[in-house]
A and B are shown apart, each in its own frame.
Chain A
Amino acid sequence: DGGITQSPKYLFRKEGQNVTLSCEQNLNHDAMYWYRQDPGQGLRLIYYSQIVNDFQKGDIAEGYSVSREKKESFPLTVTSAQKNPTAFYLCASSRFGQGEDGYTFGSGTRLTVV
């Protein structure tokens, strides 16, 4: 079955450490996205990519970095510059990048920084 796999489901890190969240999709989607979800805030866009080797900042990109070397993969690095990294992170993909198609979401990674 096609879908999006995010790993790990839970992640604990010490303050000051960088951490990379994995996102892999086998839906042959061109566009991929990273969202951050905090209680009562909805989903906020961190980064998105519409084609391989190209990506753009979303609304809250500061303290995060991404790469898109393969169509199937879009890893997110939470750097030590991110002031409040504890959150639920969701990866998504879609066939198109212009809001014409529904998004498929992964099951998320809950990051806790202590």
Chain B
Amino acid sequence: AQSVTQLGSHVSVSEGALVLLRCNYSSSVPPYLFWYVQYPNQGLQLLLKYTSAATLVKGINGFEAEFKKSETSFHLTKPSAHMSDAAEYFCAVSSLSGGYQKVTFGTGTKLQVIP
């Protein structure tokens, strides 16, 4: 079984401040990890993915995430928040189960950026 926990359903940061969105996972097999962003009335867009290569993954829009196996974490960061970053962010874990891909999403974190 696998699961994802996103700490903090709402996060507020000031424009220009560091963004840190937390994600912890559990998986009985080596996982693949993803971060997605969802803007209002839209589907999810892939931000970045970890697939067992480099542990520090760079994504679009200046976001990056670091895979830490010892902490079972995959936190999303951005050095300087922009107003356009206001959205909902989902962490997801994917692994093979019964011969096919099983993806589990976290419950999401809504990011508010304060001018």
Whether both chains belong to one complex is answered with no
**CB within 8 Å of B: which residues of A?**
none
